[in-house]
């Protein structure tokens, strides 16, 4: 199982030249869980501000805090880069070359630690937010994945949603494929429970099976967020009774 935590690289980190988790990781709970830590590390500064020295500090933090305690880390650095660099969003700068350089610096800083895996995780590929310019190259990536939130009234099958990405980056480069974020919504609001369950089953246990996609597919993380932390209710098990949670698991295991 996996434990996804979001953190940022801020101007304070740039000014100090160091990263210490910024008090955003529930360390004891992560270690006790026995799960893989998916560390979703989002830069809130210019790419050029993330120096090789700062990357070394990131690597040291995860080594000293987690991997030395037996926790495997998937470092999901600058996730959804194609989406967050869109001019209508503007969280990341839209500079492909600078991104690729800082990604390579982060890879270099972590590559000696065989318990840290660099996880390349763009958002869904579109004409306005293309993925390809953000690809740093196979030699700098350990795991690939794509985030996707389809509409609840038009849910695709696995092949339609992920097939092209999987064939290009997972099968094409013989790299593990993991879905780091997914859920479903409806017209910028919450999807129905049935729609959420249908999508969950479609991506982890479709009745027709996963076929060739099972070769590199290793993990899926549902975006279990909702109010007050998130405007849209993506919850599928949160705050449910034990019986409801067990029923959801059973239904999913039975396939769609």
Please give the positions annotated as active site: 80, 181
Q: Give the integer Cα–Cα distance in Å for 197 and 216.
A: 24
Tokens of 225: 């967020």
H-assigned helices in 141-241? 158-165, 193-204
Cα angle 125-200-227, degrees, rounded to a multiple of 5: 85
Q: Give the integer Cα–Cα distance in Å for 52 and 74.
A: 19
Tokens of 217: 């597919």
Q: Is 68 exposed, middle or buried (0-12, 13-18, 19+ CB in 10 A)?
A: exposed
Tokens of 24: 């955003």
Instruction: Give the N- to C-terminal CA distance of the chain in Å, as an integer.
Output: 21
Q: How many CB atoms lie within 10 A of CB 6?
A: 14
Which residue is associated with the tokens 């990604």?
103
């Amino acid at each position: 199982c996996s434990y996804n935590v979001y953190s940022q690289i801020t101007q304070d980190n740039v000014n100090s030249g160091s990263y210490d988790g910024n008090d955003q990781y529930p360390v004891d709970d992560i270690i006790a869980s026995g799960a893989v830590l998916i560390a979703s590390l989002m830069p809130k500064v210019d790419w050029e501000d993330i120096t090789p020295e700062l990357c070394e500090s990131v690597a040291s933090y995860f080594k000293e805090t987690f991997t030395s305690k037996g926790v495997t880390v998937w470092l999901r650095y600058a996730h959804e880069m194609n989406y967050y660099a869109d001019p209508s969003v503007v969280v990341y700068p839209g500079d492909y070359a600078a991104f690729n350089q800082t990604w390579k610096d982060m890879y270099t800083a972590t590559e000696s630690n065989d318990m840290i895996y660099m996880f390349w995780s763009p958002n869904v590929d579109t004409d306005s937010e293309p993925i390809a310019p953000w690809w740093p190259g196979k030699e700098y990536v350990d795991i690939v994945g794509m985030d996707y939130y389809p509409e609840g009234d038009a849910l695709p099958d696995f092949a339609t949603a992920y097939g092209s990405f999987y064939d290009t980056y997972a099968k094409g480069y013989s790299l593990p494929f993991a879905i780091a974020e997914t859920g479903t919504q409806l017209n910028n609001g919450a999807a129905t429970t049935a729609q959420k369950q249908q999508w969950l089953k479609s991506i982890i246990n479709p009745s027709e099976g996963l076929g060739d996609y099972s070769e590199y597919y290793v993990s899926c993380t549902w975006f279990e967020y909702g109010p007050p932390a998130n405007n849209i209710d993506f919850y599928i098990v949160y705050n449910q009774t034990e019986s409801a949670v067990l029923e959801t698991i059973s239904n999913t295991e039975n396939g769609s």
